Structure 1
Amino acid sequence: MQYKLLGKSGLRVSELCLGTMTFGDDWGWGSSQEESKTIYDSFREAGGNFIDTANVYTNGTSEKFLGEFIASERDAIVLATKYTNGLGDNNPNGGGNQRKNMVQSVEASLKRLNTDYIDLLWLHIWDFMTPAEEVMRAFDDLVRAGKVLYIGISDAPAWVVAQCNTLAELRGWTQFVGLQIEYSLIQRTPERELLPMSRTFDIGVTAWSPLAGGWLSGKYTKANATSEEGRLDSEMMKGFLERSDRNIAIAQEVDKVAQQIGKSSSQVALSWLLNQGVIPIIGARKISHIEDNLQCVEVKLSPEQIQQLDQVSQIELGFPHDFFKADMVRNFAYNGAFEKIKNHRYSQLMD
């Protein structure tokens, strides 16, 4: 396992992050405490130090399990959890991005995790109600109090993240160093705005559902396509990912590359993400899943194989991105000198 800095911070995190939404079976699926511990131990033995959970995962059981697992090595773990989502008690302030929910959620997470501080606190989902000033000042207060060390944002538009970080920079408050998004060979729409924004602001990117709910693992394209595992993954992603000719074609291309190099489809899909400079969040219900996924760091895709995967999964960037690439537009914008200055960072963002 290699390590990298998370965004423009000095925080060293492993190139894979362990997602723990499956720790606990409170939701009718997931892993027992014993199986969860085995998965955690395997991740640690491979060198992983970046662990991701949330206040609502398996009704708080995920955080409770992790609190026990990390107790003897707390300082070695980069522990990330989230606030925003409520536990379903219909309390109007029991969910959302506002300061009250942030504070009460963090206090509850600290108790479940049995720790004094959270390394990385994610805002889970942007609520379109709370002012950016309130969110960023509340985050900064938690950092100054020592209860949170770094902050990140998940599932939000690029303009929201840019607004929040610009505001924080101007006010001298803590800025987001991490961005969590749905990203995979099947879900590449973050390339339109979120990924260029993260590069501009130097925000580290983590990808949830890196295997697209199992689509990129071979479960739906091979002999075991109707297995119980495949059915469960499909139910978990219901409403997020539909069966389509495009998704099948992408999954089959992943299978093809995997066969060429003698690796699993999951390893190929995760390796593609690593090549994008993204940290995949790998989750598992069984030890066999995590053991397979961890080996993706040893997969080396050739430029030709990356191109194969890029082509089958490419999306239309739409306006204004396609507009920027038109020769006439470039000739006007660069006064005919685009080829001479195309290595400039702004033109790289457009490419």
Structure 2
Amino acid sequence: MSLDTYYTLGRSGLKVSRLALGAMTFGTEWGWGADEETARQLFNTYIDAGGNFIDTADLYTNGTSELWIGKFVAERGLRDRVVITTKFSYNAEPGNPNAGGNGRKNILRAVEGSLKRLGTDYIDLYILHTWDKITPAEEVMRTLDDLVRAGKVRHVGLSDTPAWYAARAQTLAEWHGYEPLSTLQLEYSLVERNIEREFIPLGLELGMGVMVWSPLASGLLSGKYKPSEGAFTGEGRLDTLKDSQNPAFQKFTERNWKIVAELENVAKELNRSMAQVAVNWTANQPGIASVIVGATKRSQLEDNVKALDFEIPAELSDRLEAISRLEPQFPYSFFEPEIQGMIHGGKPVGLKPKGYYPDVIIRAAGAGVS
């Protein structure tokens, strides 16, 4: 399935590619990433393959990511074709508590900065980047709705929040007639499956398609690490940031190495790259609307965009499922078939269909644009 096959995001009418281009690598300010010419090549490769969904944030590479996206979009006259996602929450002004967080003051400040850097008068999808633990959902949803009504934002979403907070936010939107949340942007991969406990059922129930970040587990599943060859080190973010306090980069565990080893075996049997298999598995799980793929080299992105061109046979998919399965935890252990059978008289209970896809597929006339 090529990138120029689009699906609606959540219950919205916004049509997006199943693979989104992650632009956190656009810029070298963080010690890794792509320079401007390489970033332009990545952008053009994705667009020419039919993709239309670009993801960034106001503080990615200190604002360079947004600047370059705006520049690349303008160079090719694509503003009405592409769907631009950006995010707010993080603080770039130490000592100023209101230059970050999710309060109304910062949201209104942040959106103006993003609009300026992106060189546009509207943002297609505006997302709260990370829960700040203090701002009420009422304030967030009212402010986001105000931005939609003002024409500065088209759709809204949340990233990296508790499930209860996302549920409350969506319920408030339904109750008050605010713009509803179209998406939840969350980490998900073979090695990080915790969103299956709460967020996947939440998104399916309340109409929020999950946008996946880090489907390759910050590079762990990319093919840089191959246990069969004794390759337990690689080049990239994981090795650079393995000693940081960011939990997203703490991936070197015994469990994860077992998953990498099985992924390597499955990829060999399919004659596909490890990255393609990892992205394919993630994209075809229940509730997943789009998967963000990023790269620092054109060859990496060219490989990733082919991740949906094949199906993983059930037997191989079952092996990946088994090696990466979550350990039962309370209260989720009470929702397993054994206990549920005691509730429903031993009768099977219908499950929601696998995959978060509407019946209608919108396919572009051509794979790329000039």
TM-score (norm 2): 0.88
* Aligned residue runs from structure 1 range 179-198, under 5 A: 179-198=184-203
Which of 263, 287, 305 in structure 1 is aligned with 2:298? 287
Gaps of 5+ in 1: 347-351
Secondary structure at the aligned position of 2:127 is classed as strand
Name the structure 2 match of 1:80: 85
- Distance, in Å, in 2 between the alignment partners of 1:63 and 1:116 is 14
Name the structure 2 match of 1:310: 321
Secondary structure at the aligned position of 2:7 is classed as strand
Which one-letter code corresponds to 1:120 in the other structure? L
Q: Is 1:17 paired with 2:20?
A: yes
> Is the alpha carbon distance of 1:266 and 1:107 closer, same or farther for their aligned partners in structure 2, counting shifts above 3 Å?
same
Which one-letter code corresponds to 2:253 in the other structure? S
> Is the alpha carbon distance of 1:286 and 1:233 closer, same or farther for their aligned partners in structure 2, counting shifts above 3 Å?
farther
More displaced 10-residue stretch of structure 1: 104-113 or 206-215: 206-215
* Aligned residue runs from structure 1 range 69-108, under 5 A: 69-71=72-74, 72-108=77-113
Name the structure 1 match of 2:258: 249
Name the structure 1 match of 2:363: none
Q: Deviation digits for residues 41-86 of structure 1, max 9, x if unmatched?
A: 0000111100000000000000000011111110000000001111
Q: Is 1:204 paired with 2:212?
A: no
The answer (yes or no) to whether the contact 2:102–2:140 under 8 Å persists in 1 is yes
Q: Is 1:270 paired with 2:275?
A: no
The alpha-carbon deviation at position 32 of structure 1 amounts to 0.7
Which of 162, 166, 171 in structure 2 is aligned with 1:161? 166
The alpha-carbon deviation at position 288 of structure 1 amounts to 1.2
Which of 345, 350, 362 in structure 2 is aligned with 1:343? 350
The answer (yes or no) to whether the contact 1:271–1:297 under 8 Å persists in 2 is yes
The alpha-carbon deviation at position 299 of structure 1 amounts to 2.5
Name the structure 1 match of 2:358: none
Which one-letter code corresponds to 1:258 in the other structure? A
- Distance, in Å, in 2 between the alignment partners of 1:130 and 1:170 is 19
The alpha-carbon deviation at position 324 of structure 1 amounts to 2.4
- Distance, in Å, in 1 between the alignment partners of 2:225 and 2:201 is 32
Name the structure 2 match of 1:66: 69
Name the structure 2 match of 1:349: none
Which one-letter code corresponds to 2:31 in the other structure? G
The root-mean-square deviation of aligned C-alpha atoms, in Å, is: 1.8
Which of 45, 50, 55 in structure 1 is aligned with 2:58? 55
More displaced 10-residue stretch of structure 1: 127-136 or 277-286: 277-286
- Distance, in Å, in 1 between the alignment partners of 2:64 and 2:331 is 44
The answer (yes or no) to whether the contact 1:221–1:248 under 8 Å persists in 2 is no
Q: Deviation digits for residues 200-220 of structure 1, max 9, x if unmatched?
A: 112111111110111111212
The alpha-carbon deviation at position 106 of structure 1 amounts to 0.3
The answer (yes or no) to whether the contact 1:213–1:234 under 8 Å persists in 2 is no
The alpha-carbon deviation at position 167 of structure 1 amounts to 1.0
Which one-letter code corresponds to 1:180 in the other structure? Q
- Distance, in Å, in 2 between the alignment partners of 1:259 and 1:151 is 40
- Distance, in Å, in 2 between the alignment partners of 1:64 and 1:133 is 31
Which of 301, 316, 320 in structure 1 is aligned with 2:312? 301
- Distance, in Å, in 2 between the alignment partners of 1:11 and 1:91 is 36
Secondary structure at the aligned position of 1:79 is classed as strand
Name the structure 2 match of 1:115: 120
The answer (yes or no) to whether the contact 2:225–2:234 under 8 Å persists in 1 is no
- Distance, in Å, in 1 between the alignment partners of 2:141 and 2:300 is 37
Aligned residues: 342
Name the structure 1 match of 2:147: 142
Name the structure 2 match of 1:8: 11
Which of 317, 320, 324 in structure 1 is aligned with 2:331? 320
The answer (yes or no) to whether the contact 1:324–1:330 under 8 Å persists in 2 is no
The alpha-carbon deviation at position 344 of structure 1 amounts to 5.8
The alpha-carbon deviation at position 15 of structure 1 amounts to 0.6
> Is the alpha carbon distance of 1:345 and 1:292 closer, same or farther for their aligned partners in structure 2, counting shifts above 3 Å?
closer
Gaps of 5+ in 2: 354-370
Q: Is 1:27 paired with 2:30?
A: yes
Which of 268, 281, 305 in structure 2 is aligned with 1:259? 268
% identical aligned pairs: 46
Which one-letter code corresponds to 2:331 in the other structure? P
| Structure with greater contact order relative to length (CA < 8 Å, sep ≥ 6) | 2
TM-score (norm 1): 0.93
Which one-letter code corresponds to 2:83 in the other structure? V
Which one-letter code corresponds to 1:192 in the other structure? R
The structure richer in helix per residue is 1
